[in-house]
Amino acid sequence: MAAANLASNPPSLPRTLNRAIPKPFFLKPISTLKPRWVTRAVLSTSEPKTQKFQHCFSKSEDGFLYCEGVKVEDVMRSAEKRPFYLYSKSQITRNVEAYKDALEGLDSIIGYAIKANNNLKILEHLRKLGCGAVLVSGNELKLALHAGFDPARCIFNGNGKILEDLVVAAQEGVFVNIDSEFDLENIVEAARISGKKVNVLLRINPDVDPQVHPYVATGNKNSKFGIRNEKLQWFLDAIKAHPKELKLVGAHCHLGSTITKVDIFRDAAVLMVAFIDQIRAQGFEIDFLNIGGGLGIDYYHSGAILPSPRDLIDTVRELVVSRNLNLIIEPGRSLIANTCCLVNRVTGVKTNGTKNFIVIDGSMSELIRPSLYDAYQHIELASPTPSDSKVSTFDVVGPVCESADFLGKNRELPTPPKGCGLVVHDAGAYCMSMASTYNLKMRPPEYWVEEDGRLSKIRHAEMFDDHLRFFEGL
């Protein structure tokens, strides 16, 4: 079947959220699969399993919170008296090793998604551990090069890449994803300006529902990302027309973020290898399948058994091997989120008669996920409270002049004394990288606990003078 006709016939499966894909679907030979339908993953009906939650942050029997054996309260005494991020360097290493172990036996690239956390020291550590980098802006590309990442292990994504940045990507030899007709035109122009042929992947929108918050779903038909399936042949013809500028080396998809069901990755991989079969049939040498990232974590600290990197890789392994493909994955959250917490100090406790509030010095300016996505992140006190402290239900809020300024709602906590430490867990991803200076709350410092237990600063705090510097000489 010609690639131009991939979406020309009516779907052979119902387009519904409520019906499972029949089991024989996965038992058919891959060559018979036609990527024409919308795959909808189905929620599991089994009872959730639980396990003792393992974390680099742990509570001792006496009620103190520790990071890799270092008491958080001691860190608060030595750190600047303001909100700060605290990481475990060892946990970052463990998370990377889990992916490397899962990928054993496969030719692969672990492309860390820099948008999740762009701290230079963390990037240098990930590079030393063997990671590549996934980039979604020109500045992320420059930062990856500054951090020493191998350009041949970097992938430049994005639906609005500009020519100047694409020229740098072409000159450095990074992979570039084609996301649209105008994106292809800009990549061709960048190749001509740089005098370099660009290795490109087609970002195909498989229209797979990842069952996540709509703001972090990127692979369905309403997404701004990727090319439409029915336009595939147009892009293949356009690439054929530019043999001096473009070399098509792979196909890419990205479903979304906070995904907790690995069958969704399998659904997408089945469709993607079928697309690759069609592309190869037209003479293209396709070596890479990029299945994106998006593996979720246990933000609730409920002990739920969520998919591991090995679960993810195992669900697509046979498909990758059957096509002799190099696998690219793009983890961000699952590499860095659980390595960090935002450490705050309690300013005071108040009530409005119907609700109780713990007011802290941190805010939506330092950590916006709860305000932006209504996301849940686990909150606890860093030290024990007096024995007579009453346990109540609180909203944990900051000082920013917005009703949306909250870090958590309806949390049962002992009433904390003024100055007590309060931490928001799993803050390594999409927290500091999304921080702002709203209300002129300057971005916080970052620290990590080294492998030997030493505390090191890995980012300076922004100061008021930094703000004034933008206006010097005007």
Q: What sign for the dihedral angle of Cα 406, 408, 409, 415? A: negative
Chain-centroid distance, C-alpha 174:
20
Residue 242's H or E segment, with its range, is none
Burial (CB < 10 A; 0-12, 13-18, 19+), residue 81, is exposed
Burial call 5-27: b when 16+ CB within 10 Å, e when fewer: ebbeeeeeeeeeeeeebeeeeee
Angle at 323 between CA 280 and CA 202, to 5 degrees: 50
Q: What is the pLDDT of residue 227?
A: 87
Q: What is the three-class DSSP state of 128?
A: helix
pLDDT number for residue 255: 80
- Tell me the chain's radius of gyration from C-alpha atoms: 24
Beta strands in 167-238 (DSSP E): 175-178, 198-203, 208-209
Q: What does each C-alpha distance from 391 to 63, 111, 141, 362, 387 come to in angstroms?
A: 15, 44, 48, 22, 11
268 vs 286: CA distance, rounded Å? 17
Q: Compute the distance between CA of residue 146 and CA of residue 74 in angstroms, rounded to an integer.
A: 33
Query: Which CATH entry fits the domain spanning 336-469: 3.40.1110.10, 3.30.1540.10, 2.40.37.10, 3.40.50.720?
Result: 2.40.37.10
DSSP per position, 342-373:
EEEEEEEEEE-SS-EEEEES--TTT--HHHHH
**Which range has the worst mean pLDDT, 33-37, 131-135, 239-243?**
33-37
pLDDT for res 303: 85
By the 8 A CB rule, do 379 and 408 touch? yes
Q: What is the pLDDT of residue 228?
A: 80
Instruction: Write down the pLDDT at residue 414.
Output: 97
Q: Strand (E) positions, 73-150?
A: 84-88, 108-113, 132-135
pLDDT surpassing 90 at residue 108: yes
pLDDT score, position 207: 66
8 Å CB contact between 166 and 187: yes
Name the phi and psi angles at 361, rounded to 5: -80, -15
- pLDDT tens per residue across span 392-451: 999 999 999 999 999 999 999 999 999 999 999 999 999 999 999 999 999 999 999 999
Residue 27 scores a pLDDT above 60 = no
Question: CA 469: distance to chain centroid?
Answer: 32
Q: Which two tokens stand for residue 384?
A: 């024990």
Q: What is the pLDDT of residue 35?
A: 36
1: pLDDT strictly greater than 50: no
CATH class as words, domain 157-328: alpha beta
CB-based contact 249:287 (threshold 8 Å):
yes
How many residues are listed for the chain in this entry? 474
The amino acid sitting at 331 is: P
Query: 143: closest CA among 106, 112, 97?
Result: 112
Q: Do residues 151 and 175 touch, judged by C-beta distance below 8 A?
A: no
* pLDDT averaged over every residue in the chain: 87
Q: What is the pLDDT of residue 50?
A: 47
Closest CA to 433 of 58, 122, 82, 51: 122
Pair 336, 428: CB distance under 8 Å = yes
> What pLDDT digit, counting tens, does each position of 116-167 carry?
999 999 999 999 999 999 999 999 999 999 999 999 999 999 999 999 999 9
Amino acid at 378: H
Range from 166-170, 179-183, 210-214, 235-239 carrying the lowest mean pLDDT = 210-214
pLDDT band with cut points at 50, 70 and 90 for residue 55 = confident
Residue of 253, 401, 420, 431 marked active site: 401
Inter-residue contact 359 to 398 (CB < 8 Å): yes
Confidence of residue 260 (pLDDT cuts 50, 70, 90): confident
DSSP 279-344: HHTTT----EEE----B---TT-S-B-PPPHHHHHHHHHHHHHHTT-EEEE--SHHHHGGGEEEEE
pLDDT in tens, 199-226: 999 999 876 654 444 433 444 456 677 7
Give the largest CA-CA distance in the chain. Answer: 76
Is residue 67 flagged as an active site residue? no
Least confidently predicted of 77-91, 211-225, 331-345: 211-225
Is pLDDT above 70 for 104? yes
Q: Which whole-number Å values give the CA distances from 466 to 81, 205, 461, 462, in the listed order?
A: 18, 42, 10, 6
DSSP string, 394-428: EEEE-SSSSTT-EEEEEEEEEPPPTT-EEEEES-T
Dihedral sign computed on CA atoms, order 225, 228, 232, 235 = negative
What are the extents of the domains in the chain?
Answer: 157-328, 336-469
Amino acid at 463: M
More confident: 99 or 19: 99
Q: Distance of CA 262 to CAs 28, 211, 227, 376, 430, Å?
A: 20, 12, 23, 21, 22
- Kindly state the helix (H) or strand (E) to which residue 446 belongs, with its residue range: strand 446-449
